[in-house]
Amino acid sequence: MPSEDAPLAYLSKHKLRLMVYCRDCQRSAQVDHAPLIKKYGPHYPIPRLTHHLKCTGCGKRNATVFW
C-alpha cells in the first residue's frame, strides 16, 4: 500500500505510474516521474506535487495525484 507521504523514489523503485487528476475539469493524465525526480529530488513527497502541477486542460492548480 502506498503511504500518504511516499517519496518520488517510491515510483521508480516499484515502477509505478503517477496519475494526476484535475478536480476542476476532471481531466486525468499520466505523468512521467523521471523529470520530477530530477527537478525535486527522490525524497520529495508525492502528494506535495499537487502544489506544482498545473492542469493542461483548464490551467488551474487544483489537482490530486494518485499512484
Sign of CA dihedral 56, 58, 60, 66: negative
Residues 5-24 that bind Zn ion (CB under 5 A): 22, 24
38: left (phi over 0), alpha (psi -120 to 50) or beta: alpha
Please report whether residue 57 would count as binding Zn ion according to CB under 5 A: yes
| 56 near Zn ion, rule: CB under 5 A | no
- Nearest approach in angstroms of CB 64 to Zn ion is 11
φ, ψ at 52 (rounded to 5°): -105, -30
Site string for Zn ion, 28-47 (x = CB under 5 A): --------------------
Which residues contribute to the site for Zn ion (CB under 5 A)? 22, 24-25, 27, 55, 57-58
